[in-house]
Amino acid sequence: MKFWERLGKIDRRIIYIVLAVVVIIPLILTVKLPGKVRAMPRTKDVFDHIENIDPNGKRRAILISVDFDPQTEPELKPQLEAVVRHGFARNIPLLVMALPIQGTDIGLEVLTRLAEEHDKEYGKDYVLLGWKPSPVAVILGMGNFIEQVFPTDYFGTPLAELPVMEGIRNYDDVGLVMDFTGSSLYVYWVYYAHTPYDVPVATGVTSVSVADIYPFLGSKQFIGMLAGMKAGAEYERLVKDKYYQDQDIFLRGTQALPALSASLLVIILFVILGNISHFATRRKS
């Protein structure tokens, strides 16, 4: 059997082993990509918007909705961590919630770890609102009065007793709604928060969803977008360069990006070789 014929019939298990190796090695050796990760315009739009929020002004809070589960965590968790870091660095009150119940545990883990790292106090600097059923009712209700939808926080403490909620009643006091989702839940925030209440909304999505977001960006219904793991690394770099230049902090997206890049290159290589094999053997026959 000729070389190209053998290549076209390569066992798929070999391909899986090669992919596993090129993913695992960069993670173990903490390989770094040459040069800095440059932020795309849509990522920079989100960063700039948060930079312009006045922590002491009227619309001073960021409402973060953790609308993803462990299946999409590798792409979306770096985005979430980077935005939470940014909010903590600027002393912006963070209100964190979830439309799917799985998001509450992810949000709690990220907040607890990063709050300790930044010396932030629960109830004073941030709050975990938790989860309530019926996304439409939740989003619309918060436009009237947040405490009407979430009378207590995730731990059962009345919101009225938390200093972080002082002066924050509804979307009029929110500078940005930031939704991280691996599904199409972002449309709920457009339809039921931005449209009726004119609150600025941005979203962080998986790479496969990016094309669906552009109509909302073109119509200015989203002020920006974080797209996949790469956007998480981009945002990490923006935040680190401005606030943590002299600190050694764990950047999840930046560390994972070499493995992602290597795996994509290998996939492209196999596609090219497969096509060459196909055309070479077909011409012979």
The pLDDT assigned to 283 comes to 66
The pLDDT assigned to 261 comes to 78
Domain boundaries of the chain, sorted by first residue: 3-31+260-284, 41-250
Cα 115 to Cα 50, 180, 253, 273: the distances in Å are 18, 19, 19, 48
Instruction: Provide the residue type at 109 as one letter.
Output: E
Percentages helix, strand, coil for the chain, rounded to the nearest 5? Answer: 60, 15, 30
Which one of 3.40.30, 3.40.50, 1.10.10, 2.60.420 gives the CATH number of domain 41-250? 3.40.50
Task: Identify the segments of the chain with pLDDT beneath 50.
Answer: none
User: Could you tell me which of 42, 96, 36, 103 has the C-alpha nearest to residue 226?
Assistant: 42
Distance CA 60, CA 259 (A): 37
pTM, whole model, 2 decimals?
0.86
What element of type H or E holds 130? strand 126-131
